[in-house]
Structure 1
Amino acid sequence: MTKSNLRKALNYTGSIIALLSVLFVAHRIHVYWAQIPDDTFTLKLLALLMLLAAIYGAANALLASAWRILMKSLGQAISGRTATRIYGLTQLAKYVPGNIFQFAGRQLLAMSYGFSGKAIAKSAFLELLLLVLTGAGFTLWMSPLLYPAFSAVYGLSIFIIMAALIAWGLKWRGHAGLIMVIARYFLFLFISGTVFLCVLYSIADSWTLTLVQVLPLIGAYVIAWLAGLVTPGSPAGVGIREFLLILMLKPFFTEIDIVVAVILSRMTTVVGDCVFYLYSLSLR
């Protein structure tokens, strides 16, 4: 099998998995919709969702800033304003089936500004690689959900030690710029997980949020997000993220609360992406 055929096969497989996941989530929504209390969607909740969407939209600037640092490390001097405009105008393409069109759009738009096509392609590869590696670190945060004996304190301690060693290694190797990139990716993922946590907290009844629960729940969201990112053919991880969150959190929350929370969090991130797009569109 040639590389081209393999890529197509992986893309089709990912699309099928995403479609099945969407159907699963849609089925759960259909089953539980009648059970959702009428007073769930209050003005207070809508105001909270709009605030979270604005926060998530602003967090996208971290991704654009990280891409600018990657481009500069590849010899492409690009201003923050230009980087934000290019990144923001092409980011919505991640919702197109295929999960690659945001990179293709960025490649074409950045080349129209006169930047090296080879450097842009390298920056996209580095972005994916570093996002995956950064997101994988949140496995330590999520571990208490799967192994209760592994406490959140242990996970956080190991995470901090690993982060410090990686930062020291990169600085020693002369790649201090990558530390800033990874820090921005970490902050973006942390904000994304916190947005989901806030939505879940506002939906779940009779749940008192404790500090011990915060990190594992954020970690669970990031791991679900990561699975959607690396699944070929899944636009913005649609279906994959929701499916995994339902599976991971089902032992701890009622399924109806999880279903409503994952759908509302998806709506929040979509609106946030649109807010960032409109902001990028306003930059000249």
Structure 2
Amino acid sequence: MKQLFRKLKPFLRWFILGGTLFFLAKVLKDNWQQVLNIRINAVGWACLAIALGLTLLAHVVGGWTWSRTLHELKQPVNWVWMTQEYLKTNVAKYLPGNVWHYYGRVNAAKTAGASIEVAALSVVLEPVLMLAAALLITLLSSQQIFARYGIPAVLLQVGALVSVLGAIHPKFLNPLLKLASKAKQKGDASPQTPAQGMDHYPVIPLLGELGFVLLRATGFLFAFLAISPISPVDLPLLVSAFSLSWLLGMVVPGAPGGIGVFEATAIALLSGRYSPAIVLSVVALYRLISVLSEAAGAGLAWLDQKRS
């Protein structure tokens, strides 16, 4: 069964990518005239600038959270340098394979003095913590999604959240880290101290990822404001829809960086409340803002390292 899944996985990726692109193309075909009629005024451009700044700040928080995760794993790394490396590797997520940013972060953690097994674990924990944060935010703000999709959707989210929160408990992580450390020592002639695990639940990294997702959601809200006014009643729906769309863009195999999956999910969740033309314009603008913020973060981190 596993061999069959491995053989089908590349085709599954292309199938999902093709399906999402077809969906987006159909939405654009049906609403292209309304999209062309959308105009952005001076206030809208200011909202987009704020969205860009908030999204860039979110990536800085993400870098700090990664360095904090390494501290929780008893690796005393310099958080400023680790944040810079995080920002520099961010743009690699758009390369084919969608794994090169993780590879760069493992190398950066090793350069900072972390063992290979701890470096790899910190990189694995990062998306898991993001997943838990996005699920938690979705649950806390999903009243309208609950009304639309019913109890099964909420139970599925609760089950996934409980599973993820349990997976990052030290009682589960520490034995895995010790096994990885022992396996590495067997193939290494030089004696090494086994990697130490966490002493407590990674609350601070989880709070950091909550801040990361909330900052990105706020950036999405400002991008939405650039196109259309938002009723305060709709804020929970927009935050929940963004969190769930971003989450699926991260975990569903498709195009690098979640391109297509995020947009298709957001349109599906919000088109019942807002015009598809508005939602399509917003997600396209936010995708551009995301790419620009990642490029700006990488450039600023590189310049700061060169300056110092």
Both proteins in one fold, TM over 0.5 = yes
Sequence identity of aligned pairs in percent? 23
Match of 1:68 in 2: 67
Pick closer, same or farther for the CA change 1:253–1:39 going to 2, 3 Å: closer
1:217 and 2:238 aligned: yes
1:65 CA drift (Å): 0.7
The DSSP-based 3-state class of the residue aligned with 1:281 is helix
Pick closer, same or farther for the CA change 1:109–1:12 going to 2, 3 Å: farther
Match of 1:103 in 2: 102
Pick closer, same or farther for the CA change 1:46–1:109 going to 2, 3 Å: same
Give CA-to-partner distance per residue, 1:65-124, whole Å, 9 cap, x none.
Answer: 111011122232210221012111111111223222210122234334543221111101
Match of 2:221 in 1: 197
d(CA) in 1 for partners of 2:243, 2:86: 21
Q: Tell me which moved more, 35-44 or 187-196.
A: 35-44
1:201 CA drift (Å): 2.8
Q: TM-score when scaled to structure 1?
A: 0.82
Q: TM-score when scaled to structure 2?
A: 0.76
d(CA) in 2 for partners of 1:253, 1:97: 33
Match of 2:248 in 1: 227
Within-5 A mapping of 1:12-161: 12-36=11-35, 38=37, 40-148=39-147
- From 208, 216, 227, the equivalent of 1:184 is 208
Pick closer, same or farther for the CA change 1:9–1:114 going to 2, 3 Å: farther
Gaps of 5+ in 1: none
1:126 CA drift (Å): 1.2
Match of 1:10 in 2: 9
d(CA) in 2 for partners of 1:245, 1:232: 17
Pick closer, same or farther for the CA change 1:200–1:208 going to 2, 3 Å: closer
Give CA-to-partner distance per residue, 1:166-199, whole Å, 9 cap, x none.
Answer: 8xxx89x9526x2111111111111111111222
Coordinate RMSD, CA, aligned? 3.2
1:148 CA drift (Å): 3.4
CA contact (8 A) 1:141 1:218 kept: no
The one-letter amino acid of 1:146's match is: I
d(CA) in 2 for partners of 1:43, 1:7: 51
CA contact (8 A) 1:19 1:239 kept: no
CA contact (8 A) 1:99 1:233 kept: no
1:252 CA drift (Å): 0.6
Match of 2:182 in 1: none
The one-letter amino acid of 2:231's match is: L
Match of 1:237 in 2: 258
The one-letter amino acid of 2:220's match is: F
The one-letter amino acid of 1:196's match is: F
Pick closer, same or farther for the CA change 1:260–1:6 going to 2, 3 Å: same
d(CA) in 2 for partners of 1:140, 1:261: 23
The one-letter amino acid of 1:266's match is: R
1:255 and 2:276 aligned: yes
How many matched pairs?
Answer: 268
